[in-house]
Chain A
Amino acid sequence: MKCEMCHEADAATVIRKSVADEMQEFFVCQDCADKEVHRETPHVSPPIPSLGETNGGAGVPLMGMVLDAAFEIVGRSLNLKEPACPVCGILRDEYRKRSRLGCPACYEAFSKELDTAIVDLHRATQHTGKTPEKARAAWHRQQLASALEDAVKGQRYEEAIALRDQLSILNGSETAKGGSPQ
């Protein structure tokens, strides 16, 4: 998941801040989290989360919020043995309690146990049926790119050239179609 502030780096933490009198959560990278703390409280050092630390800065509301977030992060980090989805961050325990996954990437993150559950539920392991054209093309492109990388690493250059050409054709046909409207 990308940082909701810079939209470039991967989100690594969560902060809470008030926007138009409403408390909101932002999933941000460490740099943006640090900047946010410095921007709001220029004379206060960024918090170093620790379980024994108390919020002495009662006059600095943001600090409390950042600490809350930090405690949450620490809490999560204590549970690191529990598998978590790298994209949405939910833990196995969490999705089990609610019987709902966090995001599409959870299917990969929790695949070991989910695959068993899916066989129990559907008595099948392979999708048959409708395929969204764009998703199929994206998947095909990803497969080709991965195979190309392997071929280059393995110095199988003829195979790599053939894969590169296939990728170019695929990308060309996508461009001709006008690409994704989204």
Chain B
Amino acid sequence: MLKNKISRRRFLRDIGVSAAAVPFIYGLESLYHKADAQTVPKKRLVVFYTPNGQLYGNWRLPQAGADLDISDGSLLSGANLNLNPLQANAKHLLILDRVSNIGSRAQYQDGSAGAIAAAKASGDPNGYDGINHPGGHQKGLGNLLTGEILVGGNNSVGNAGLGNGISLDQVLAQKFAGKVKFPSLEIGVQTNEDLTDRYVDKRISYDGPAKPRAPTTNPFVLFRNVFGSTTGGAMNTSADQQRADMDKSVLDNALSDFTRLQPKLSKGDSMLLQQHADSIRKIETQLTTVFKVDCSNIMAPMPQQGVDITDDTATHKWSMLLANFPTVGKMNMDIMVQAMACGLTNIATFFWANSENDMTFPWLGVANGHHGMSHARDPQLVKVDQWYASQFNYMINSFLAVPESGGAGTMLDNSVLWYVNCLSDGSSHHSDNMPFVLAGSNGGYFRQGRAIRFNNIFTMDPISDQKAPPAGVPDMSNSDLLVSILNSFEVATDPGKPPSTTFGRKDFCHGPLPNIKA
């Protein structure tokens, strides 16, 4: 499938991506021109998550206006703007200002219907607009992609509950199940794998209520799991066949054990095991289908000096060292982009650190911890958020570097990359004015090169100028954006079906976000 190098270079030059902007020129193009891949909808989602909120004053554009043209990048050029590193790609961006993560507001600390009704009925502006102090950094994450409040709702102290519904990425993954090797990839960068504490802050993707999906963080394991080899080069499809045969045999044995057990158990226990067996059957089908993918020239993560890359414990330790955070992030982004280019998956969540973490950033000269800085509204946060924005920029460039379907545009054209956080202001645990940015139109669905400002309630910086929404004016919510993104897939995945109008809790959702569809 390799194109010759000259045409690829010309391609990159034509689309304006300099070779230096991407670490290596992907020796790939997306596989949609292949006959066997044409049944896969040409749509992709990446949720690019960074933690601890962003200073709203540095995130939002200073210019007034509800619908700004940002395509020439000049509006992003302010030195103190968090989105400054994205200037060159501004024409691919859709900035969404003043959208709220409603489920994370304080009044939903208690999930009981009565408490919610009471909060709404009280009409207390401080209770209703969410300006008051929600429970913690950790909880917004469980609301973000599910559009639900947390299970149990006890968000205020210690361990918050988990997300209470299926997340958008998993709804979309179901549309690709059976068509691609991985319905979704969950990828983390130094996401703390110690699950004993604050579990909700370590998970963004959910199969269903309180059923979170764990990210893979170790690039060497991720690469092996995705490509079936450790060294790169040609994709090891014989390993795929072997793995599929082993899985079939092993899981069939487990299923025969389940069958053997059922008659010996009480009705309740039998049902409990039935659920386990059903999950095995579901996963077995996915695991044992060998997808015909023949990506060659795959780049494996570079081996690191002194680390045995065949030893998962050693690579895990290496990948969790703070100093390696940028390198691991880049490795995992490269693996993810290649997996998408190879047609192995269309849906990914990419999760930087935990939602509440106190990482320092020695490579930026930032010695204070991220969590602490967010509470102190430390001016150095700009460095951190600009660094994360530069990582998002790298991902955009990587998507731009992959030609789509034999030359008709780039992989970014048929993708939407969503740059999210679980908070807006880390200090107050504020969840209104979320820093949402989309890149890519997902097949022409989204407007590009615009900054849309919804619901112009806040005339100034709402952190210092708090105003409640006037009665009857809805807050645009993350749920609304979830619907929009879902719709952007449905035009291809569910042709003929009317687009979805809601996602998650109905009282948080007003239908798709207005004014963002091309």
Verify that A and B bind, or say they do not. Answer: no
Task: State the A residues within 8 Å of B (CB).
Answer: none
Task: State the B residues within 8 Å of A (CB).
Answer: none
